[in-house]
Amino acid sequence: MRVLIAGGGIGGLTAALALDHFGHEVFVFEQSSVLDEVGAGIQLSPNGMQVLNQLGVSARILKDAFRPKALEMRMGRSGRRLFDIPLRKSAINRWGADYLHVHRADLIQALYDALVARRPEAVSLGQKVVSYQKDETSVRATLDTGETVEGELLVGADGIHSVVRTQMLGTEAPRYTGMTAWRAMSAVSDLTEIPPPTATVWTGSRRHAVTYLLRGGSLANFVGVVERKAKHLESWTAEGSREDALADFKGWHSSVTGIIEHAPVLHRWALFDRDELPRWSDGRAVLMGDACHPMLPFLAQGAVMAIEDAYVLAREVSSAADLPDALKAYEACRKPRTSKVQAGARENASLFHRSNPITQLSTYGPMWMAGRMMKGFIHSRNDWLYGHDVTLG
């Protein structure tokens, strides 16, 4: 088929590679004129790496990635370790693929390079899909330039504020979660206290932070979430002040505050939650990734769920004779899993923010014991997530 893809982020580019892998002709339309996303780190768990292995881009991604030694949780102020679960060899042995930390821009560049090496004209930058029209045999996408392009399938990979979803299902009504997120990066060479070489969750009263390393350990990445009544923009590009970020994490371990102090820029945005969509497709138009199941950032699975979506979508539309039936099969396959991940992320939000000594002891005490005596048990709690391989099904 001739497939049009709205959005050239992680989901859109992976979808293009997967559809090309199954023999389709792909055209990606990305509104940004350059492929340089706002600096941010992402965690690529083994379930996402299985797809990237299958699409032949994992070696390129590994070149710029960081392999964390472990998953761990620490107290935000004291730095006391609650548990420390090995990752490097354990991830491969238990779940069949690497667990990596990657700069978002590096991942997008790797996906882009792999795609244009196969289809040099596949990506159009500075062009945004603003609407679509469909009939039983084709779909036409109108770009913000006024041009109309035609294909047999339109994939809405255009993110949390998806134009394709809005036309398909109307204006959404997201709910403010009462939480604001911070994001920052700093060169490790600028830091006095280097964060652990792990995927570390730092817990505290009504807030938590996550730190990890990128680009072979040369960059330190920080994400912080704070409960707050006043809400900000839901925008990854909105900036906040260093003074406000330091105030939110006053008295915390220097592994956290050091990144805030030395980061060139700090981004702040409000976290919103959304109801499950009634459907993901409309004739020959279909949604994927954040356009249909945006994730709160408490399981580190937003990008990986889009990567999984991409492969399943490509497989389903390649194996069914009827396209609308294939899109329904894709939704039936993906919706239970993405809904479970969304629910898990919501649950973690409260787990990380225990607000008084009694609830902290009752929650983190057993976790500390399990981390010392039953590391395999903690690994097993992630089997459903990290051990899932969509390329096998």
Three-state DSSP class for 195?
coil
Instruction: Label residue 18 exposed, middle or buried (CB < 10 Å: 0-12, 13-18, 19+).
Output: buried
The two structure tokens encoding residue 13: 């580019």
Looking at 99, 112, 212, 386, which residue is catalytic?
212
How many CA atoms within 13 Å lie on the side-chain side of 191? Answer: 25
The CATH homologous superfamily of the domain defined by 2-66+101-173+277-351 = FAD/NAD(P)-binding domain (3.50.50.60)
Task: Give dist(CA 375, CA 386) in Å, integer.
Answer: 16
Active site residue 212: yes
pTM (whole model) above 0.75: yes
Euclidean distance between CA atoms 339 and 154, whole angstroms: 23
Long-range contacts of 167-173 (CB under 8 A, 24+ apart): 167/131, 167/132, 168/281, 168/282, 168/285, 168/287, 169/277, 169/278, 169/279, 172/274
Residue ranges per structural domain of the chain:
2-66+101-173+277-351
Closest CA to 226 of 256, 198, 197: 256
For the sheet containing 81-86, what is the strand order?
Answer: 81-86, 70-75, 199-204, 207-214, 219-227, 175-187, 266-273
Digitized pLDDT (tens) for each residue of the chain, 393 residues in all: 999 999 999 999 999 999 999 999 999 999 998 876 566 899 999 999 999 999 999 999 999 999 999 989 899 999 999 888 889 999 999 999 999 999 999 999 999 999 999 999 999 999 999 999 999 999 999 999 999 999 999 999 999 999 999 999 999 888 899 999 999 999 999 999 999 999 999 999 899 999 999 999 999 999 999 998 877 667 767 899 999 999 999 999 999 999 999 999 999 999 999 889 999 999 999 999 999 999 999 999 999 999 999 999 999 999 988 999 999 999 999 999 999 999 999 888 777 666 555 455 555 555 545 555 555 666 788 899 999 999 997
What is the per-residue pLDDT across 13-56, written as a single tens digit (0 to 9) for each?
A: 999 999 999 999 999 999 998 876 566 899 999 999 999 999 99
